[in-house]
Amino acid sequence: MKIFVDSADVAKIRRLSEAGLIDGVTTNPSLIAKSGAEFLPTIRELAAMVEGPVSAEVAATDYDTMMREAAVLAKIAENVCIKLPLTMDGLRACASIRAEGRETNVTLCFSVTQALLAAKAGATYVSPFVGRLDDLNLEGEQLLHDIRQVYDAYPALQTQILAASLRSANHVSGAALAGADAATIPPDVIERLANHALTDKGLAAFVADWKATGQSIL
């Protein structure tokens, strides 16, 4: 499963990229607003930093303006993936942008039927929001399983499942077990994936035992 970092924090993204832990980046208007950064320069910097896709979301809600904004974003770099809302206008824009050869990420997916339409529109990625469904006491992880089942039943549908709104290690492992092609994860959650109490306990024992030998590698 590919791991994308869901952030607009350039410093955190650079640290994860240099560690070889991420395959791409996703952003959205909320993340940009939270970071306080300028949108277009941030996308340009991120696209130069990582080799994989950098999802940059349009701000418009109507087809014509989406297409104009997408044209601006596409000029930033070849690896900019145009992120679009899962609405009828967004799906229409997805089909048009894909016809131009540009990757797309259709976001705010909450149902199998929405994912089916995104695939019919030729989306490169569809982003089901696991955590937001869980907030409503619905089964976010089950949606990933259901979309996977539908996509696998129809090989002509080539859209990749990009699990989004993942807030914990359990969400990430659930996405992997559900067969998601990729997951987009906040930086702090990615770093927590490496944590385990038994790892810490074992390492502490190794350090103590090594210290007792009085030896040094250097």
Is residue 218 in some structural domain? no
Structure tokens belonging to residue 1: 């499963």
Q: Report the amino acid identity of residue 68.
A: R
Whether residue 125 lies inside any domain: the answer is yes
d(CA 42, CA 91): 26
Q: Which domain holds residue 106?
A: 2-213
Q: Is residue 70 part of a domain?
A: yes
E strands in the chain: 2-6, 24-26, 54-57, 80-85, 104-109, 125-128, 160-163, 182-185
Contact call for residues 1 and 30 (beta carbons, < 8 A): no
Q: Total structural domains in the chain?
A: 1
Mean pLDDT of 28-53: 92
101: region left, alpha or beta (phi > 0 left; psi from -120 to 50 alpha): left
Residue 142 forms part of a structural domain: yes
- Residue 97 · residue 82 · CB < 8 Å: yes
> Does some domain include residue 138?
yes
* 51 assigned to some structural domain: yes
Q: Tokens standing for 127? A: 């982003």
Query: Which CATH number covers residue 168?
Result: 3.20.20.70
Give the tokens for residue 119: 């695939």
- CB 83, CB 57: distance < 8 Å: yes
Whether the predicted pLDDT of 27 surpasses 90: yes
Q: Each residue of 56-66: pLDDT tens digit?
A: 999 999 999 99
Average pLDDT over residues 195-209: 95
75-130 pLDDT tens trace: 999 999 999 999 999 999 999 999 999 999 999 999 999 999 999 999 999 999 99
Q: Do residues 29 and 107 make contact, with C-beta atoms less than 8 angstroms apart?
A: no
> Which residues does the annotation mark as catalytic?
83
Helix, strand or coil for residue 29?
A: helix
Whether 81 and 89 have beta carbons less than 8 Å apart is answered as no
pLDDT number for residue 83: 98
User: Encoding tokens for residue 64?
Assistant: 């014509």
